[in-house]
A and B are shown apart, each in its own frame.
Chain A
């Protein structure tokens, strides 16, 4: 079964500093990869996704993630964070071999941007 590891439960960072949130998944079979953001007491919002093609994917608000098949990683990065980026970030994997397309989520990383 697929598993997703987000090593950092919390990442404190100062405003305008760069940040990287790490995500590794267990299986090297064909997968779709996603990053979701969750604000307090709200549902999940898709930040970005990798389905195929270019291994570097970007979101409209400055985040990017790079799919690394050999390292089974999909780390999320932003060169300069804002206070408004404070939220919980979840990495998720859809294992194409199962056919169900259900998502397996990592444990989440709380990004805390400080002024």
Chain B
């Protein structure tokens, strides 16, 4: 149990286009999901906290108009990188907290496999 998927696993796009990344909790409900970005050989940096049915909370320095987050259901959060540029190339990883029982299970976040975005 507690599987999180991401789609696509990798994407290459041209500069100026928009890219949508999906994060799904496959076997549990997730009222809260997190989006992280990881540059090569660096650690994960939290970008935003995605809350089902409400606006996402963005970390300082993350442009909310550039990184659009939608958490429309208990199993799906999407991150859209708008007008992508080469500097947005990175590994994007989501995580989710299991809310199925009405409490967050094990105080643990379950991570997706990541999406590698390359902007040409």
Contacts and interface: CB of A to CB of B under 8 A. Distances in A.
A95 B52 CA distance: 22
Interface string B3-21: 0101000000000000000
Q: Is the interface of A mostly helix, strand, loop or mixed?
A: strand
A107 interface: yes
B102 to A, nearest CB: 16
B65 interface: no
Given A42-B113, A103-B34, 8 more contacts: A43-B112, A101-B104, A102-B49, A103-B44, A103-B95, A105-B43, A105-B45, A107-B42
A34 B111 CA distance: 13
What bracket does the count of chain B residues touching chain A fall in? 20 to 34
A43 B114 contact: yes
Contact of A43 (B34, B46, B49, B93): B93
A32 B107 contact: yes
B80 interface: no
Contacts of A112: none
